A and B are shown apart, each in its own frame.
Chain A
C-alpha cells in the first residue's frame, strides 16, 4: 500500500491569483471606493482592478460555491477571493464588466457593500449549529442583526467603519474582544457536576488548573470535583476540559454586549471592547432584544461621533458616563470589573461629567 501523502501544505496562492494581480503584484499605487461595495485599485503600470464585495452568511452550501464560481467564470475569468470577514470578492480587470456584474448580483439577491464607513460582515462562530460549548446561536443572531442594520452594510454613511463580531461562548473563536460591537454568548449558572462522568472521563488536576478563579477543588469522597459556586463566573473552561461539568442552561444562557474595541492602530492604539450590557435573553429566532440594543448603540454613535471616529474613540472623547446617558443603557454592577487588575479601570480623578 502506498504511504499516505502528508504535510504538503495548502494550495500555492501563486496558482490562484488572477493575471492582473500576477502582473501588478506589489505594484499597487492607490485605491478608491467607487461606490459602496466597489473598490478600484490602480497599479503603477496604470492597470485597474475593480473589486465588488458581497456579504455571505459564512455557512454556505457547495451549491452556493458553485453558483458564485459560475458568476466568477462569467465576469472574472474564473477567479475570486474571500476576505477575513467572510465576504466574497469578485475581481475584475475590465471596467466594462463592473456594472453588468453588479446588475447580475443584485438580480440574484447578493448583498453588495461592507466597504468604507460601513458595518462590515460580522465575524462569527458556529453556535448551536455545530459547537459543543455554545451559550447562544451565532448565525441566527448575525442574520437578525444584519437584516435589521442592512442599510449600514449596503451604504457607507457611518462616521467610520464599524466591526460587529459574535462569539457564542467565552472561547471566542475570532477576535470579538476588540470589536466596535461584540456580541458574546454567556452562561449565568455554575456547572452541574455529573460525578460518574467526571470519574470516568476527566483528568482531575487539569480541570482544577483550568479554573481561572480557583473555584474547583477535589472531592475525595466522590473521587470527583466540587465547585465553590460563589467563586464561579461561568466561563465554561472546566466543561471544555471535562464533559462531566455541563453548564449550558436555557434560562441561564444568553447574550452580552461589549463596545468600543478596535484592532487597527490608526489614530489610536488597539483596544479591548468593554462590557455595556451584561445579559440579554436568548430569544430565537430573531433575538429582538439584541437587535434593538445593537441598533441603539450604532445609531447613537452615528449621531454623535466625528468623521473618522471609531466607536471606542468617540467614547474616549465623550467619556463612558456620557455613553451611558446618551444610549440610555442602565449601568449595572456587572459592568464594574472585579477580576484581575480590575483597579486599572477605576477612576482616580474627580474630573468627570454628569
Chain B
C-alpha cells in the first residue's frame, strides 16, 4: 500500500481557470497506488528541482521492437508503486476522431492494467498510456489488440505518422490527409514497429500550407497539400465581405506576399494574377467564403525537417514541388522507400535525413532518389564558387 503523500506545492496547481493535471493525477490516485506514488514523486521533484526517473531500460511486447518505453523511478523504495512505470504509445485513428464507445473500451483496458493516466495525445500524435509495470505489458497489449488498438513507433523507426483534420472538416484540404495517413501507416507497419533505421523518421501530413500538424518543422518527410491552377473566386461573396466591413485592401491585398491581387473598391472586384500567386493561404484564410483553393490539387513533398538533436534544427526543404495524391499513393510510397534506402545505407547512427543531406550534399541525395533539380527547391542559388562537375559533363 502506498503511503499518503503530502503535496503542498502541487496542490497550488489545482487552482486557476486552466485544466489542472494535478487534479487528474489525484483522480487516478483514488483508484491506483501508482498514480498516488506518481504524485508523491512529482512533489519531490518540485522540491528538489530535478527529475526522478532513471535512464531508459528496454521493455516490450511480443512481436514488436518498439511502442513501449521503459521507465523506472530512481526512488523505488519511497515510491514502490512506480518502481516500474512504463509507457505505451498507442496508434491513434487518423485526425484523432473517436466514438465514445471506442474510448470507453480503451479506458477499461487501461484501468485494468495501468495507472489510469494518459496523454490525449503525445506530441507525435499517439495516445500515450502513462505507467504500467513490466508484468502487465503483454496482457495490456493483448487486451488493446482485442479492442482494435495497435502500437505506435518508438526508437529508431518510422514514428507514428499524423495528419490534420483534412477533408473531414476543412474546406482548405487539398489532399485526403486521413486516408493517405491510414494508407501510409498500414503500408509501413514493419518500419513503424521494428526499429532498424539510423534514427527516427517522421512523416507528417497537412492538407494545406497552414500546416496544422507542423509537418515542415518536425518531419523528415513532410506532405503539404497545395494546388496548381487558379484560386476559385466567388465575386458575389467577395462583395459581401466588403459590404460587411472587411477592409479587403489592407487585410487581404496588402498582405499578399506576391502582390498578385488587385482590389477595386468601387466595383468591389478582386482580381488575382494566379500565375504570380505562391498559394500561401493568407487570402483564403481571411475570406474563405469567397476564395477557395484551385481544383487541380495535390501536395508538395518536403524533406529534412527536425528538432535540434543532434546537429541543429532544420525546416524541411522542397523536394517534389507537386505530386498528385490519389489512392493507392504508389508514387509517394515509392519515393519514401527510395529516400529511406539512401538514408539507411549512408546515415550514421542518430543522423536524421536532413543532417545526412547536409553532410553528403543535396546533389548526392537528388541523384540517389532520381529527382531533377528545379528552382522551386531553393530560395536562392549558391553564392560561392565551390561546385562540382561530373567528368562526363566535361568533354
Mutual binders A and B = yes
Residues of A within 8 A of B (CB): 4-13, 15-18, 21, 25-26, 28-32, 41, 49, 51, 55-66, 69-70, 72-73, 78-84, 86, 88, 91, 110-111, 123-134, 137, 139-140, 142-144, 146-147, 150, 153-154, 167, 170-178, 206, 209-210, 212, 235, 237, 239-241, 243, 246, 248-250, 253, 261, 263-272, 282, 284-286, 307-308, 339-340
Q: Which of A60, A146, A176, A266 contacts B18 (CB 8 A)?
A: A146
Please determine whether A55 and B19 come into contact, CB atoms closer than 8 angstroms: yes
Docked CA distance A86–B182 (Å): 21
Please determine whether B257 and A175 come into contact, CB atoms closer than 8 angstroms: no
Please determine whether A4 and B119 come into contact, CB atoms closer than 8 angstroms: no
Residues of A within 8 A of B285 (CB): 266
The prevalent SS among residues of A at the interface is loop
Inter-chain CB contacts under 8 Å: number = 353
Residues of B within 8 A of A (CB): 9-10, 12-13, 15-22, 24-25, 27-28, 35, 38, 42, 45-46, 48-56, 61-64, 71, 85, 87, 91-104, 106-107, 110-111, 116-125, 130-131, 142, 145, 148-150, 162, 164-165, 167-171, 173, 176, 178, 182, 185-186, 189-190, 193, 209-214, 216-218, 251, 255-257, 280-282, 285-286, 288-289, 307-313, 315, 348-350, 379
Docked CA distance A62–B16 (Å): 22
Q: Which of A25, A62, A284 contacts B168 (CB 8 A)?
A: A25
Please determine whether A81 and B98 come into contact, CB atoms closer than 8 angstroms: yes
Residues of A within 8 A of B48 (CB): 250
Please determine whether A285 and B9 come into contact, CB atoms closer than 8 angstroms: yes
Please determine whether A79 and B24 come into contact, CB atoms closer than 8 angstroms: no
Docked CA distance A128–B52 (Å): 7
Residues of B within 8 A of A80 (CB): 97-98, 100, 103
Residues of B within 8 A of A29 (CB): 171, 289
Please determine whether A61 and B51 come into contact, CB atoms closer than 8 angstroms: no
Residues of B within 8 A of A170 (CB): 307-309
Please determine whether A128 and B46 come into contact, CB atoms closer than 8 angstroms: yes
Please determine whether B281 and A264 come into contact, CB atoms closer than 8 angstroms: yes
Residues of A within 8 A of B92 (CB): 10
Please determine whether B307 and A66 come into contact, CB atoms closer than 8 angstroms: no
Q: Which of A65, A139, A176 contacts B120 (CB 8 A)?
A: A65
A9-B189, A11-B93, A81-B95 known; A60 and B282 CB under 8 Å? no
Residues of A within 8 A of B164 (CB): 84
